[in-house]
Amino acid sequence: MSVAGPVVCFGEVLVRLAAPDNELLLQSPTLKVSFGGAEANVGVSLARFGHAARMLSVLPDNGLGHAAVDELRRYGVDTSGIAFTPGRMGLYFLTPGAAQRSSQVLYDRADSAFSRGACAIDWDAGLAGAGWLHVSGVTAAIGPETAKAAVEAVKAARRLGLTVSMDCNYRATLWQAWGGDAPAILGEMLSQADLVFGDHRDIALVLGASFESGQGADGLRRWAADMAFKAWPNLARLACTDRVQHTVNHHELAGFLFSRDGAWRTGSRTMDPIIDRIGGGDAFAAGVIHGLLTGMAEADLLEFAVAAAVLKHATPGDLNLATVADVEAVRSSHSLDVRR
């Protein structure tokens, strides 16, 4: 796929506050601080893969906002599309899971600088010179203003001739907090997308459809792809993963990719133990985008994307810091010897 110009990632950059060492939140009076957010995670990963990636966002004009920009710059992301305004930083608190205890995320994003300022973005200026826009359903879920901005972003990108990718990233707690109509808003965004990251649950939610639970992983995702291609004429590809969870720290991950005339599936990769699963889907998305931008065959890019996601599960924090060489090493060898 030939794309002129950088990949623009539009969304909120967050401060992540995580309990340490698999503790419960505030079990001890310590929190690990880092930065993340679905779209920023994709931008950092793409920059690490050698692509031009630009973040389009709004941050508070204070120490937290400027530290977030410094973190993105550290990994090669162009931050010229980030505006600073008065306000607060969006936060999320993470209680890491362990054994049979699930991880828990607590959002604190209401009235953030991003939620108040996203609608003021000049899309023609923000997308100038870009070749690709990546967005997430998380942005639309934050509130009515960000939902409006997310829809405007994908429509502007389509009008300007950019390739549009969207990760459905349905977050029930965020939608419920303001009573947002998730199917209608996500459907409007999906109608503009060339590439969608989502599975049968996302497609069923948006289209108000139902699926047969006994179809198995392959059947469910084939059903989702068929429904999506019928619903959205702009859609060229749908990608997703299948995750088998034995414990919180022991998963198996496989990838699926569908086009209008083909389907691909990887084998399962075992992840045991998992260090940090947050951002794994974003690492997968960045891997697929990298494969398309570099002209990889579908089967190869899907293997690359799953390997990238596996590496993220071995990296603390939201961000996947793996390079192309790191991912290729996982793809080509199962050796765990020290690399010298």
Could you tell me if 194 and 163 are in contact, meaning their C-beta atoms sit under 8 angstroms apart?
A: yes
The Cα 77–Cα 53 span in angstroms is 5
What would the pLDDT profile of 281-336 be if each residue is shown by its tens digit? 999 999 999 999 999 999 999 999 999 999 999 999 999 999 999 999 999 876 66
Helix/strand number for the chain, H first, E second: 13, 14
- What are 31's two structure tokens? 């929190």
Tokens 């108040």 map to which residue? 116
Closest CA to 235 of 286, 289, 288, 195: 195
> For residue 190, what pLDDT is reported?
98
Positions of the chain with pLDDT lower than 50, given as ranges: none
* β-sheet bridge partners, residue 101: 98
Q: Cis bond leading into 273, ω under 30°? A: yes
SS3 108: strand
- H-only helix segments in 118-181: 123-126, 137-141, 144-159, 172-178
Could you tell me if 193 and 166 are in contact, meaning their C-beta atoms sit under 8 angstroms apart?
A: yes
Domain 7-332 -> CATH class: alpha beta
Whole-angstrom CA distances from 100 to 49, 240, 270, 323 are: 34, 25, 18, 32
As a 3-state breakdown, the chain gives helix, strand, coil percent values, each rounded to 5, of: 40, 25, 35
> For residue 336, what pLDDT is reported?
67
- Kind plus residue range of the DSSP H or E element containing 33: strand 32-36
Q: What angle (nearest 5°) sits at the alpha carbon of residue 170, between those of residues 169 and 173?
A: 130
DSSP string, 49-63: TT--EEEEEEEESSH
